Homo-oligomer: A and B are copies of this chain.
Amino acid sequence: MTATTDPYMQLLGLKTQLLEPGKAVVAAQVKPEHLNIHGSCHGGFLYSLADAAFALASNSHGTPAVALSTQMQYFKAVRAGEYLEAHASEENLGRRTATYRIEIRSGERVVALFTGTVFRMEASG
């Protein structure tokens, strides 16, 4: 797995900053088109940023991994113009499943926390 971006990341303006086994950092700036009905950053955009880091980190070992179950905790409202980073690290790596923690940070503040579990598919070929 060497891809570091995909069409959905490009649509949202998400950039991969780091990718190594079990780790990934994805970054984005919040633009006006990412806002919700309250005028703050849409929860779906924050999730998508975390989910991109989750996908990269969980596919970083060469075994295709697909998301089974994820959770998101929202801590702080985020405004247009903020620069965000999603930092993914590995909580557990099993043979058939693995779990990742993704912190979304705006500067020093953790604004949201994502936890996700993948199913690891048999290597094909």
A64 to B38, CA, bound (A): 9
A64 to B69, CA, bound (A): 20
Q: Given the complex, which residues of B lie within 8 Å of A70, measured CB to CB?
A: 43, 47, 71-72, 74
B35 A73 Cβ-Cβ under 8 A: no
Q: How many copies of this chain are found per oligomer?
A: 4
A67 B43 Cβ-Cβ under 8 A: yes
Query: Which of the four size classes fits the interface of chain A?
Result: 35 or more
Q: Is A81 at the interface (CB under 8 A from chain B)?
A: no
Q: Is A89 at the interface (CB under 8 A from chain B)?
A: no
A1 to B36, CA, bound (A): 13
B68 A77 Cβ-Cβ under 8 A: no
Instruction: Tell me the A residues contacting B by CB distance below 8 Å.
Output: 1, 3, 6-8, 10-12, 32-38, 42-45, 47-49, 51-52, 55, 59, 64, 66-75, 77, 91-92, 94, 96-97, 99, 110, 113, 115, 117, 119
